[in-house]
């Protein structure tokens, strides 16, 4: 899985938005992915509190979810977000990195379903939790 992890890290770093948010893929498994995003003052949603903007956290969760789909044993060639519902449980602690852990838990012929959680250093109390549906395009077989 090390070669796949290296390739996945390079892919995420090639995405300008992921690079701008300084996302780093830290773990990749068969249908699971963990991505960390450091706290950055440019991503603060409320200057009075220093809390990260929910949009940055949702982008992190979406990216981790897509990575979990791409690493699924169903071996999709590509994926895109169809639906992503995120429930914010509490504000992220200012100054702390956010880590999103996603699991692709069910796959149909054309749709993959994902659960994702975002935490700061207090992993017992999630910052946000989500569920999503992603397109699942599989490799094309030989022409009939």
Q: Tens digits of per-residue pLDDT, 21-57? A: 999 999 999 999 999 999 999 999 999 999 999 999 9
Q: In a 10 Å sphere around its CB, with 0-12 CB exposed, 13-18 middle and 19+ buried, how is residue 45 labelled? A: middle
Is the pTM for the entire model greater than 0.85?
Answer: yes
Q: Could you tell me the CATH number of the domain that includes residue 68?
A: 3.10.129.10
Total structural domains within the chain: 1
> Is residue 10 in a domain?
yes
> Is residue 34 in a domain?
yes
> Is residue 11 in a domain?
yes
Task: Please answer whether residues 59 and 21 qualify as being in contact, where contact means their C-beta atoms are separated by less than 8 angstroms.
Answer: yes
> Is residue 58 in a domain?
yes
Q: Tens digits of per-residue pLDDT, 56-89? A: 999 999 999 999 999 999 878 889 999 999 999 9
> Is residue 95 in a domain?
yes
Q: Tens digits of per-residue pLDDT, 80-136? A: 999 999 999 999 999 999 999 999 999 999 999 999 999 999 999 999 999 999 999
> Is residue 141 in a domain?
no
Inform me whether the pLDDT recorded for 20 exceeds 50.
Answer: yes
């Amino acid at each position: 899985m090390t070669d796949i992890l290296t390739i996945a890290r390079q892919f995420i770093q090639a995405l300008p938005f992921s690079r701008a948010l300084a996302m780093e893929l830290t773990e990749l498994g068969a249908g699971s992915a963990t991505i960390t995003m450091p706290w950055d003052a440019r991503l603060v949603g409320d200057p009075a509190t220093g809390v990260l903007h929910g949009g940055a956290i949702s982008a992190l969760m979406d990216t981790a979810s897509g990575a979990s789909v791409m690493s699924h044993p169903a071996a999709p060639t590509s994926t895109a977000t169809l639906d992503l519902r995120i429930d914010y449980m509490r504000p992220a602690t200012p100054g702390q990195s956010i880590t999103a852990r996603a699991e692709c838990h069910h796959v149909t012929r054309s749709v993959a379903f994902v659960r994702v959680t975002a935490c700061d250093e207090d992993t017992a109390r999630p910052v946000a939790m989500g569920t999503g549906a992603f397109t699942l395009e599989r490799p094309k077989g030989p022409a009939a």
